[in-house]
A and B are shown apart, each in its own frame.
Chain A
Amino acid sequence: MFGATEYLVLGSILFALGLVGFLTRRNLIVIFLSTEVMFQGVVINAVAFARHHEHLEGQSFALFLLVIAAVEAGLALGMVVMLYRRKGTLDAEAWSLMRG
């Protein structure tokens, strides 16, 4: 049996992994998946705190987070299709027309 801290560490590891993925991967789909990993870290955090406080608010928080993540996934899917149609590539660096 673990205490809250271990779960929090697990959540933070997931979150950090997502963040690193977001910053380093080149493919837009993978970048997006990295943000999903970050969200999963948050979900673990929320559930861990719910267990710590012995009530269900964190559980419901986790469910709602999944909803938002799903919404963003839907949006990301549409966007990726649009982008691929335009340039035929999903390289993040292909989209750097504007700067300064």
Chain B
Amino acid sequence: MTPETLDTLKLCGIVILLAPLAGAILAGALGPRLLRSHAHWPAILGVGAAFAGAVVIFTQMRGVTEGATTALLPVYDWISIGTNSIFRVEFLIDPLTSVMLLTVTGVSLLVVIYSRDYMREHDHPERGYERFFAFLALFVFSMCALVLGGNFLLLYLGWEAVGLCSYLLIGFYYGRPAAAAAAKKAFLVNRVGDFGFGLGIFLIYLTFGTLEYGAVFELVQQGLTGTGQALSDGRITTIALLLLCGACGKSAQLPLHVWLPDAMEGPSPVSALIHAATMVTAGVYMIARCGAIFTASATAMTVVAVIGSVTALFAATIALTQTDMKRILAYSTISQLGYMVLGVGVYAADSAVFHLFTHAFFKALLFLGAGSVMHAMGGIIDVRQFGGLKRILPWTFRTFVIGSLALAGFPLLSGFFSKDEIIHHALQAHPILGIMGLVTALLTAFYTFRMVFLAFAGPERIPEGVHAHESGKWMLAPLFVLSIGAIGAGYLGVAGKPFHTFLAPVFEHTFTAANPAAHGAAHGAAEAAHPSFWAHYGLMILSGALSIIGIAAAYVLYVQQNWIPGLVKATFPRVHKMFHNKYFVDEIYDAGLVSPARNAGRVCVGLDDYLIDGLVWLATAIPRAFGYLVRTFQSGLLQGYGLSMVAGIAVVVVWVLWA
């Protein structure tokens, strides 16, 4: 890369960070008094500028024809310890960063535009309008910092900051107890993950003596620690698993997935942006970024793949029985994130990122569509309470179907290509996990269209007293744009695979080099170059067929013969109950962790009152007692003060001179 390119990249990085931050500050500071119902403008402009910056970075990266495609751009020194050890604020810009930035800022821009109408009732801004946009812009800033950061410290800061924004936005309607509880749950569950993540980063610093990505990854690949000793397998596996712990929390993977469905208490645009398209993919991004660390430990990679595939299947079964549209989508998000984690776990990081990219379009589309339904239904989102909306909400219906087809993996839409790739790689690496992926694909098609048919097909049913209406242009425009993405994004991954070619340099030395399946394929290089028709298209046809079967089954069960689901429910009550209650995970946590903790808490309260309180009392009492003792010198008398001063000086002089 030329110096000019580097300068441009750095400038763009700074704009991407500062523009949303400025937007957040302006919306928050000027919103209440000055901007009022125009408080969305700073956020829209800030995020728009960030998107423009991301586009420029992308075009610059595309233009790089030779040499390294990775740029480490120091912005400034944060803290320097001694002369050589320095914590820098620095950007790491490579194709992966570029793709993530485009996704994050692009979806954010659409969501911010959408929110302009969504956060209004009868064209009157809701309470907290400016707060909403300030938080949203702050989120974009934090997420971009996470993605742009060139070392683990910035990654961690961004990681915590997006968590904070997520917490603030889930609890946006803090007056509602459910929202407040959901925010608290998200916060606490994420703390568990972040604790592991923080430990992992600390261990990285202890092991390698630096937190800069490039330096750490190079040492890992050389198998050395910071002091030049050999790096043990146990150490690197521990680091990888601790980092994975953070990814499980942020990307809602088993067993830390419980917060995401509850997070739907936040406004729908937040669900679309933070809890579907961007923040929850941070875990996947992190694993892809730390490919050097993960691929250094085969154990860790297997754990990643297993967690991903199990989560995908597990969440899909739960989604079968839910009736709240946003919750169905939430479980589907968990399931799709499972695919992505599976993807990185089977050394197909490029496919995982590709799925992340397409998923951002169709899942944001679905959430915004659900938001549009919710807006029309006066805040009701349970599919049992309405139906047959396709005539009332014609445009929402059409775009929603496009999103659903993409999610279901319907042939030739974006989700089809990206999901297919992951399953393909999974089948190569761990056939069982691949088959689980295929089953999940079938279930996905089924539950997605169950939701579509329940909400939009059949006779028109709307809750009483609701004046249903199609949404305005501010809300529909983003839906159209996302629909185009949901249809077309997948083609970047076929016919020459421009997407994968673009990303290839990032994973060249990590996932690609370490992939055992690729080593196996090297023997039959000829076969790899000219795969037979069935090897190439067989899986595509199979997964396409599964998708169509799933959709058809949903059609039969929920439109034509809609007595069957009731029968199934009656025949297998236990299974249904298990799915409907999400495998009782919340209950298990409640019984296994929360209740015992609470009971133990009650026992402890007893102890606490006497023992701990006593100790705490003692801990503060000693300083306090000392304070009261010293206070006797604070007589309030001028000459009393003079006396203590002179006495003090006299003691010192005598001691120093004659001691």
Q: Is there a contact between chains A and B in the complex with CB atoms less than 8 Å apart?
A: yes
For A31, the chain B residues whose CB sits under 8 A away are 638-639
Q: Is the CB of B634 within 8 A of A23?
A: no
> Closest approach, in angstroms, between the C-beta of A42 and any C-beta of chain B?
15
Q: Is the CB of A98 within 8 A of B636?
A: yes
Q: Is the CB of A92 within 8 A of B637?
A: yes
For A100, the chain B residues whose CB sits under 8 A away are 631, 634, 636
Interface string of A72-93 (1 = CB under 8 A from B): 0000000000000000000011
For B635, the chain A residues whose CB sits under 8 A away are 96, 99
For A1, the chain B residues whose CB sits under 8 A away are none
**Range class of the B interface residue count:** 10 to 19
Contacting residues of chain B (620-659) with chain A, CB-CB under 8 angstroms: 631, 634-639, 642-643, 646
> Closest approach, in angstroms, between the C-beta of A72 and any C-beta of chain B?
16
CA distance A19 to B645 in the complex (A): 11
Task: State the total of A-B contacts with C-beta under 8 angstroms.
Answer: 29
A49 contacts chain B at the CB level, 8 A cutoff: no
CA distance A96 to B170 in the complex (A): 54
Q: Is the CB of A92 within 8 A of B636?
A: no
Q: Is the CB of A96 within 8 A of B646?
A: no
Residue from B636, B643, B646 whose CB has the most chain A CB atoms within 10 Å:
B636
> Closest approach, in angstroms, between the C-beta of A48 and any C-beta of chain B?
20
Q: Is the CB of B639 within 8 A of A23?
A: yes
Q: Is the CB of B646 within 8 A of A93?
A: no
CA distance A97 to B638 in the complex (A): 11
The interface on chain A, measured as residues whose beta carbon lies within 8 A of the other chain's beta carbons, has a size of 13
Q: Is the CB of B639 within 8 A of A22?
A: yes
Q: Is the CB of A96 within 8 A of B636?
A: yes
For B642, the chain A residues whose CB sits under 8 A away are 22-23
Q: Is the CB of A92 within 8 A of B639?
A: yes
> Closest approach, in angstroms, between the C-beta of A38 and any C-beta of chain B?
11
CA distance A90 to B642 in the complex (A): 17
For B634, the chain A residues whose CB sits under 8 A away are 99-100
> Closest approach, in angstroms, between the C-beta of B518 and any C-beta of chain A?
76
A95 contacts chain B at the CB level, 8 A cutoff: yes
CA distance A12 to B166 in the complex (A): 70
CA distance A31 to B638 in the complex (A): 10
CA distance A92 to B635 in the complex (A): 13
Q: Is the CB of A93 within 8 A of B631?
A: no
CA distance A22 to B640 in the complex (A): 11
Q: Is the CB of A23 within 8 A of B636?
A: no
Q: A interface vs B, CB < 8 Å? A: 19, 22-24, 31, 92-93, 95-100
Q: B interface vs A, CB < 8 Å? A: 631, 634-639, 642-643, 646
Q: Which 7 A-B pairs have the closest CB atoms?
A: A99-B636, A96-B636, A92-B638, A96-B637, A100-B634, A23-B642, A23-B639
A-B contact pairs, 24 of them (CB 8 A): A19-B646, A22-B639, A22-B642, A23-B639, A23-B642, A23-B646, A24-B639, A31-B638, A31-B639, A92-B637, A92-B638, A92-B639, A93-B637, A95-B638, A96-B635, A96-B636, A96-B637, A96-B638, A98-B636, A99-B636, A99-B637, A100-B631, A100-B634, A100-B636
Having A23-B639, A96-B636, A99-B635, one finds 4 other A-B pairs with CB under 8 Å, namely: A22-B642, A23-B646, A24-B639, A95-B638
